[in-house]
Structure 1
Amino acid sequence: MIQRIQTIYLLVIALIMTIPLYVPIAQLLIPNAASYNFFTYGVVMIGENTELQAYYWALFILNIFTIGLPLVTIFLFKKRFLQIRLCIVEIILLVGTLVLMWFHISQFAGKMNADILYKFSFILPVICIIIANLAMRGIFKDIKLLKSLDRIR
């Protein structure tokens, strides 16, 4: 299980997607007023009063699913075709996370007339999509290897 490269890829996806829980995705700058940090769970005002200004439960839950699904996929190592399907579902969830992040950021910035400063953690779902494709490729190689070994017997 751990010696397979796709296991490493799936672990990396889970680790990378925990970063947006703790690091801001974007910073919303309002001229001559307060600034806000946008996290997956909501918007926090920068400064003395650091209370949540808005909650985004759908984005938070979607982010939790994008963390949990690769971990579940790792332990289904005997069901390779199911692993491939779950990798496809993971890619769809990552695209949904990216779209939902962009939507909520632009919606909140539009309400506040704020300038958006995207942070590095905004592109992490794109990096995870690439890594999920690499994991799928590794699973396909395993299937191909097992089929060739069955032919030899």
Structure 2
Amino acid sequence: MTNYIWRMIQRIQSIYLAVAFLAASALFFVPVVSFVDLDNIGQGSIKELVEIRALGKYVMSMAGPNKVEAYTPGLILTVLVAGLALAAIFTFKNRKLQINLCWLNAFLAIGLSVFMMLKAQPESVGQVSDWSAKIGAYLFSVIIICLILAIKSIRKDDNLIKSADRLR
């Protein structure tokens, strides 16, 4: 068992995929954008700090974050991106499948980032001020870059094995 795990970990693509998995998992906990909602100011309410996360839209209060709107597609895509990155780590013996999983995961990560950026646009949330990108907005780039680097490393590994087979 330890030999199996050691052979899996010693490849650089496993590190790239692990970083992609950790970045996708972090999307559950960190905000993508935050802003101050100005829509309810005229009705006598105070300014509300709103955060957009992969799981939904949250209003921040003294008691903690309150979920206002759930983003089910965001949840599903985040679980798929994290799950596929983890699954690709364990398919290191089948490099063709691993490359296909990485490409699928990269397209899902792009879809997730587009979905989250559309949800975070000021036009879709009403009148806002102090709109700012948070760490979650940059995690999408980390995920996609790690997946592309993993694909390059898997291909390099595959070419090395093919050339060794030709020498035999």
Which ranges of 4 or more aligned residues in structure 1 deviate by more than 3 Å? none
Distance 2:58 2:124 in 1: 16
Amino acid at match of 2:28: L
Match of 1:10 in 2: 17
Deviation, 1:138, is: 0.7
Q: Where is the strand percentage greater, Structure 1 or Structure 2? A: 2
Task: Output the aligned Cα RMSD.
Answer: 1.5
Deviation, 1:30, is: 2.4
Aligned length: 152
User: Given the alignment of the two structures, is residue 77 of structure 1 paired with residue 92 of structure 2, yes or no?
Assistant: yes
Match of 2:28 in 1: 21
When normalised by structure 2's length, the TM-score is: 0.85
Where structure 2 has 5 or more consecutive residues not aligned to the other structure, the ranges are 1-7, 42-46
Q: Is the 8 A contact 2:31 2:53 kept in 1?
A: yes
Specify which of 121, 129, 134 is matched with residue 144 of structure 2.
Answer: 129
Q: Is the 8 A contact 1:29 1:117 kept in 2?
A: no
After TM superposition, the structure 1 stretch with the greater mean CA deviation from structure 2, 122-131 or 91-100, is: 122-131
User: Given the alignment of the two structures, is residue 30 of structure 1 paired with residue 37 of structure 2, yes or no?
Assistant: yes
Distance 1:18 1:25 in 2: 13
Match of 2:101 in 1: 86
Distance 1:131 1:22 in 2: 20
Distance 1:111 1:122 in 2: 17
In our comparison, the structure showing a higher alpha carbon Rg is 2
Superposed CA offset, 1:45-67 (max 9, x none): 11136321111010011011111
Matched position secondary structure for 1:21: coil
Matched position secondary structure for 2:121: helix
- Evaluate the alpha carbon distance shift between residue 111 and residue 132 of structure 1 in structure 2; reply closer, same or farther with a 3 A threshold: closer
When normalised by structure 1's length, the TM-score is: 0.92
Matched position secondary structure for 1:36: strand
After TM superposition, the structure 1 stretch with the greater mean CA deviation from structure 2, 77-86 or 44-53, is: 44-53
Superposed CA offset, 1:60-94 (max 9, x none): 11011111101111111111111111111011011
Amino acid at match of 1:6: Q
Match of 2:53 in 1: 39
Distance 2:49 2:36 in 1: 5
Superposed CA offset, 1:9-66 (max 9, x none): 1011000111121111111212452111111111111113632111101001101111
Specify which of 48, 62, 74 is matched with residue 48 of structure 1.
Answer: 62
Superposed CA offset, 1:110-143 (max 9, x none): 3431132111211211121111111001100111
- Evaluate the alpha carbon distance shift between residue 111 and residue 133 of structure 1 in structure 2; reply closer, same or farther with a 3 A threshold: closer
